[in-house]
Amino acid sequence: MFALDESRYHPCLLETGGVALVLFTSPACGTCRVVEQRLPPAVPEGTHLFKVDVQKATGLARAFDIFHLPTLLLYRDGHFHARLDCEITAPALRAEMARVLAGPPEDEP
């Protein structure tokens, strides 16, 4: 997973073609550490994975109204699609990503 901060968040996602998942996480969060381990094998092949450490990038966490960790945001070709709320298993995550990506992009929170 590639780490993003305030200065690289939007430019990096705009330059990244295809589907991208951004995990908002914290090293102090036990659930975050579990999700960070489960996420790579659960995502469809070709999905770009990024993470934001909310302890280092508090401005991003505030901008996206991140109050609960971990939080996953889904992008395609730099366009925000949704905040994902599903189990971090391959079947559940892939089904939710397909459902969301079938629709149009949304405005970022």
Residues, the chain:
109
Domains of the chain: 2-101 (3.40.30.10)
Taking only the tens place, the pLDDT of each residue in 73-106 is 999 999 999 999 999 999 999 999 999 999 999 9
The model's pTM is 0.94
On the 0-12 / 13-18 / 19+ scale of CB atoms within 10 A, 74 is buried
Taking only the tens place, the pLDDT of each residue in 37-78 is 999 999 999 999 999 999 999 999 999 999 899 999 999 999
CA distance 96 to 54: 24
